Chain A
Amino acid sequence: MIVRIMGEGQVRLADGHLTELNKLDDELLAEMENGDGPAFRRTLQALLTRVRDLGDPLPDDSLEPSELILPSPDATLEEVRDFLSDDGLIPG
């Protein structure tokens, strides 16, 4: 599946890695919901690192729909929370 890291690009991931990444991802969500900024940052970095390690980067000129999207490495908890709010950061 194709995963986009915002501001970075897309990587192709084997479905087998999903279980491991899901664990981090759920952790990240919990930390965001608890408002735990430092933990959120740590988990986000860990998750991004894993995705980069496990995935193969897609060429920049390829146009593939992303199935999963990750916030950019410097995204803050608040920014991600805004993303996940009903309106999202991109209106419409």
Chain B
Amino acid sequence: MSGVMKRMGMIFRAKANKALDRAEDPRETLDYSYQKQLELLQKVRRGVADVATSRKRLELQLAQLNKQSSTLEDQGRKALALGREDLAREALSRRAALQQQVTDLETQHATLQGEEEKLTLAAQRLQAKVDAFRTKKETIKATYTAAQAQTRIGEAFSGISEEMGDVGLAIQRAEDKTAQLQARAGAIDELLASGALDDPSGMHKDDIQAELDRLSGGTDVELELQRMKQELAGGPAADQQAIEGGTSQSQQQDRQQSQDTPRFDKQ
């Protein structure tokens, strides 16, 4: 065992492929065995047919011999009726010889018939066995195919789970990245809030600026209040106007009056 890819392959195969022996496909073996059985069955059947043919031939021979025998018997009877005893004797002796042959053939015929019956029975038994084997073979093949499919699924699953591992890693990375981004966003918020970072969007005000704004806003209000008070009191605001205008107190008052009255009256 050496090499990374071989070892990884072996580990995956061991996991996914325990049941399967690649060296030999049992389905092929079963089919071959079935074929052999069929051949044997065929041989037996051919044997049965041969025996049956022999039996038929014997039967034909027997029929012929029986016919000859009865002919000779008739001839013997006729010869005796004609007073030819010598001829009748000859016919009867030939018939006796034929009868011997018939007996022999009948024995052979009986033997063949017995043989044929045995062979027929054997062929029937073999046929039943071959049929049973075929059923079993198909069952085994189906089971094997299912097991193989399962193994393939197993391997595909290993393949998938390895991809899933990648997906898992990708998700992990995405989660890490999200967490990192969230952490960073939090940190940026804090930094912006503390004023350590400038916010280019202008959306964000740090607390110092907010305080400054609040303070300056307050100052404006205070200044405004002060100015209004001085105006009412004819204080520095009025003085300022006098200096600017370069006019006297009375002129100022006149101007205020003229401002109260419509201009066209004065003109």
Binding site for B on A (CB under 8 A): 3-4, 6-7, 21-22, 25-26, 28-29, 32, 47, 63, 65-72, 80, 83-84, 88-90, 92
Do residues A29 and B3 form an inter-chain contact, with CB atoms below 8 A?
yes
Is the C-beta of B2 less than 8 angstroms from some C-beta in chain A?
yes
Quote the shortest CB–CB distance from B1 to chain A (angstroms): 10
Smallest CB-CB separation from B161: which chain A residue?
A: A90
Q: Given known contacts A25-B3, A70-B4, A83-B8, is B166 in contact with A90 (CB within 8 Å)?
A: no
Q: List B contacts of A7 (CB < 8 A).
A: 162-163, 166
Q: Given known contacts A72-B166, A90-B15, A90-B158, is B7 in contact with A66 (CB within 8 Å)?
A: no
Is the C-beta of B237 less than 8 angstroms from some C-beta in chain A?
no
Do residues A65 and B162 form an inter-chain contact, with CB atoms below 8 A?
no
Is the C-beta of B266 less than 8 angstroms from some C-beta in chain A?
no
Q: Given known contacts A7-B166, A90-B158, is B9 in contact with A68 (CB within 8 Å)?
A: yes
Quote the shortest CB–CB distance from A16 to chain B (angstroms): 16
Do residues B8 and A69 form an inter-chain contact, with CB atoms below 8 A?
yes
Is the C-beta of B23 less than 8 angstroms from some C-beta in chain A?
no
Task: Please tell me the number of chain B residues within 8 Å of chain A, measured between CB atoms.
Answer: 24
| Main secondary structure on B side of the interface with A | helix
Q: Given known contacts A29-B7, A71-B4, A71-B8, is B13 in contact with A88 (CB within 8 Å)?
A: no
Do residues B165 and A66 form an inter-chain contact, with CB atoms below 8 A?
no
Q: List B contacts of A66 (CB < 8 A).
A: 9, 12, 155, 159
Quote the shortest CB–CB distance from A62 to chain B (angstroms): 10
Q: List A contacts of B165 (CB < 8 A).
A: 89-90
Contact code string B16-44 (vs A, CB < 8 Å = 1, else 0): 11000000000000000000000000000
Smallest CB-CB separation from B159: which chain A residue?
A: A4
Do residues A29 and B4 form an inter-chain contact, with CB atoms below 8 A?
yes
Do residues A26 and B163 form an inter-chain contact, with CB atoms below 8 A?
no
List 9 additional A-B contacts (Cβ < 8 Å) besides A6-B162, A28-B4, A63-B156: A4-B159, A7-B163, A25-B6, A47-B5, A65-B16, A65-B155, A71-B8, A72-B162, A84-B11
